[in-house]
Amino acid sequence: MPITDILENNARLYGNEIALTEINPELKETRRLTWREYELVEPSHTSYYRREITWTVFDEKANRLANALLSRGIGRGDKVAVLLMNCIEWLPIYFGILKTGAVVVPLNYRFSSDEIDYCLTLSESDALIFGPEFIGRVEEIAEKISRNRLLIYAGANCPSFADSYAEMTADCSSTKPPILLSDDDEAAIYFSSGSTGFPKAILHRHRALVHSCKVEQAHHGQTHDDVFLCIPPLYHTGAKMHWFGSLLTGSRAVILKGTKPEVILDAASREHCTIVWLLVPWAQDILDAFDTHRLSPDDYDLSAWRLMHIGASPVPQSLIRHWKEYFPHHDYDTNYGLSESIGPGCVHLGIENIRKIPAIGKAGFGWQTRIVDEDGNPVPQGTIGELCVKGPGVMVCYYNDPEATEKCLRDGWLFTGDMAEEDEEGFIYLVDRKKDVIITGGENLYPVQIENFIRGCPLVSDVAVIGLPDRRLGEIAAAIVEPVPGAVCTEDDINAFCLGLPRYKRPRKILFAEVPRNATGKIEKPALRRKYVGESLVAEQNQS
């Protein structure tokens, strides 16, 4: 079954029910939106714009785009890239592309012009649909990229170098296009985070997308009555595949444009959200706001909220313990995944296993796991090795990159590049990225282990550990520490706290700075290495 069948089924079963709600708290009530923008403004102390579409409108919008693209020659086997900020149009556009038989290619909204060009070329995209936030970046490369592909603008005041999405779809049929799809058809190309250079293109079939729907619903028990609060970017597999649980059950989702604690809590309260997926920094921000009495949970109606889950980065045990102090009734879960395994859920903790934090869990629904040595042989329990996963959600390949594909796909197993170990109960713990291991004086150091320890210090808001060059030891561990706002935190404080670590694991250099994270909450270690490794080399040269 192709994933578009699920949308069409929802339109039949729940046609007049709300599918998507968009909330943008940053907009001012300066004008009344037209009926075409699905305005519904609720009076409150905060200025909100709120748009909604039903499952019928969702499906019809997807059909209109599909028919428009087909009329322009875009169809089976073609690729259509999407460069949009989160909005209510995002998912209908995604499904409209799929309904043509084409492959949808979501792009990271942080991509520079050069990266957009690179990804369009690597994926062999035939069209690009982009929003108003990206006019400048697309204009820089418009002459080059428009030579052999269609540029479609989704927004007001269409630039001269693009076609208008609104005009293209206005008079198109809202009926399903006559395209037969199967679960074996190619569906989507997602891009890796690009932590080792330009990103890789990850190809998935419809069957993988459908499996991710089943995984999410199996893990979090969505029903038709649930309301999912979607905050992370929809270009990423994490946000979209968590929403797939809502798709499968025909339940409502709220797309929130904002990450401030008060915005998240207000949306969860007003929309009676039952499931909220947070990144570690957002959860920490909420706790900090409560701890400093800037906000109070008593000011919000959060009685409907039943599940808070986190993914995309290691989760400090102290954070969840603290969260449960404020929200003792919340179930908690964490999910591990990669874009190569169609996002979250190939490893899954389970709400019944909160005692096992900081484990990432066991093999998820329909998945198998294995931890192996350098030769691909399973290692004994308790031994660190590379985590491998196998299941219906494993990618087809890295598109146009057979060498990279061969390195990480072997006999159906995906070699994740993540180092992990399994305890006596079979729970898996992430140790670090294989490429991030620090070798100091012949000893392997795993930065995530050190980071998890340092995050237990009450003076520390966030921390990243990287390797810096050292003449004697080859590398040393350096901790970039972001103190709790307003706290006085010194190098002596961190060194004293780290006495709880084995001597060889203690950071030999402490630096204080903001810890940069990308849109999905992962620490941007390449940026830290570029900054601090370069500074370290210059310092060594000056000493010699």
- Nearest Cα to 398, choosing from 374, 379, 415, 381? 415
Residues 337, 481 within the same domain: no
C-alpha distances in Å from residue 470, one per residue of 423, 442, 495, 535, 537: 34, 13, 19, 12, 9
pLDDT at res. 316:
74
C-alpha distances in Å from residue 516, one per residue of 64, 481, 524: 40, 11, 6
Which amino acid appears at position 462 of this protein?
D
Question: Where a domain ends, among 324, 354, 370?
Answer: 370
Which amino acid appears at position 52 of this protein?
E
Q: Note whether residue 351 is domain-resident.
A: yes
How is residue 417 annotated by DSSP? E
Distance, CA of 407 to CA of 364 (rounded, Å): 24
Distance, CA of 274 to CA of 242 (rounded, Å): 13
Are 345 and 219 in contact by the 8 Å Cβ rule? The answer is yes
pLDDT at res. 534:
62
pLDDT at res. 172:
94
Residues 358, 496 within the same domain: no
Residues 356, 441 within the same domain: no
Residues 351, 449 within the same domain: no
pLDDT at res. 280:
79
pLDDT at res. 239:
85
Distance, CA of 124 to CA of 120 (rounded, Å): 6
CA angle 445, 202, 190 (to 5 degrees): 100
pLDDT at res. 518:
72
- Model pTM? 0.82
Distance, CA of 150 to CA of 145 (rounded, Å): 9
- Total number of domains in the chain: 2
Residues 472, 344 within the same domain: no
Residues 318, 450 within the same domain: no
pLDDT tens for each residue of the chain, 544 residues long: 899 999 999 999 999 999 999 998 877 544 434 333 433 333 333 445 789 999 999 999 999 999 999 999 999 999 999 999 999 999 999 999 999 999 999 998 888 898 899 999 999 999 999 999 999 999 999 999 998 899 999 998 999 999 999 999 999 999 999 999 999 999 999 998 654 457 899 999 999 999 999 999 999 999 999 999 999 899 988 889 999 999 999 999 999 998 899 999 999 999 999 999 988 778 988 999 999 999 999 999 999 999 999 876 667 778 888 999 999 999 999 988 889 999 888 999 999 998 888 889 999 999 999 999 988 999 999 998 999 999 999 999 999 999 999 999 999 999 998 889 999 999 999 876 667 778 776 667 878 888 888 988 999 989 999 988 876 677 889 999 999 888 899 999 999 999 988 787 899 999 999 998 876 677 888 788 888 886 654 454 444 4
- Nearest Cα to 54, choosing from 221, 253, 274? 253
Q: Which domain holds residue 225?
A: 1-370
Residues 363, 472 within the same domain: no
Distance, CA of 20 to CA of 22 (rounded, Å): 7
Task: State the CATH number of the domain containing residue 312.
Answer: 3.40.50.12780
Q: Note whether residue 452 is domain-resident.
A: yes
Residues 292-331, buried b or exposed e (16+ Cβ, 10 A)?
Answer: eeebeeeebebeebbbbbbbbbbbbbbbbebbeeeeeebb
pLDDT at res. 535:
62
Q: Note whether residue 522 is domain-resident.
A: yes
Task: State the CATH number of the domain containing residue 504.
Answer: 3.30.300.30
Which amino acid appears at position 128 of this protein?
L
Q: Note whether residue 463 is domain-resident.
A: yes
Residues 149, 284 within the same domain: yes
Distance, CA of 390 to CA of 367 (rounded, Å): 6
Question: Where a domain ends, among 370, 394, 416?
Answer: 370
Q: Note whether residue 365 is domain-resident.
A: yes
Question: Where a domain ends, among 370, 387, 411?
Answer: 370
Q: Note whether residue 246 is domain-resident.
A: yes
pLDDT at res. 282:
87
pLDDT at res. 373:
92
pLDDT at res. 70:
97
pLDDT at res. 27:
72
Residues 51, 164 within the same domain: yes
Residues 449, 334 within the same domain: no
Q: Give the chain's length.
A: 544
Q: What distance lies between CA 418 and its chain's CA centroid?
A: 17
Residues 30, 136 within the same domain: yes
Are 75 and 65 in contact by the 8 Å Cβ rule? The answer is no
H-helix or E-strand spanning residue 528: helix 525-543
Residues 190, 82 within the same domain: yes
pLDDT at res. 43:
36
Q: Note whether residue 333 is domain-resident.
A: yes
Q: Note whether residue 396 is domain-resident.
A: no
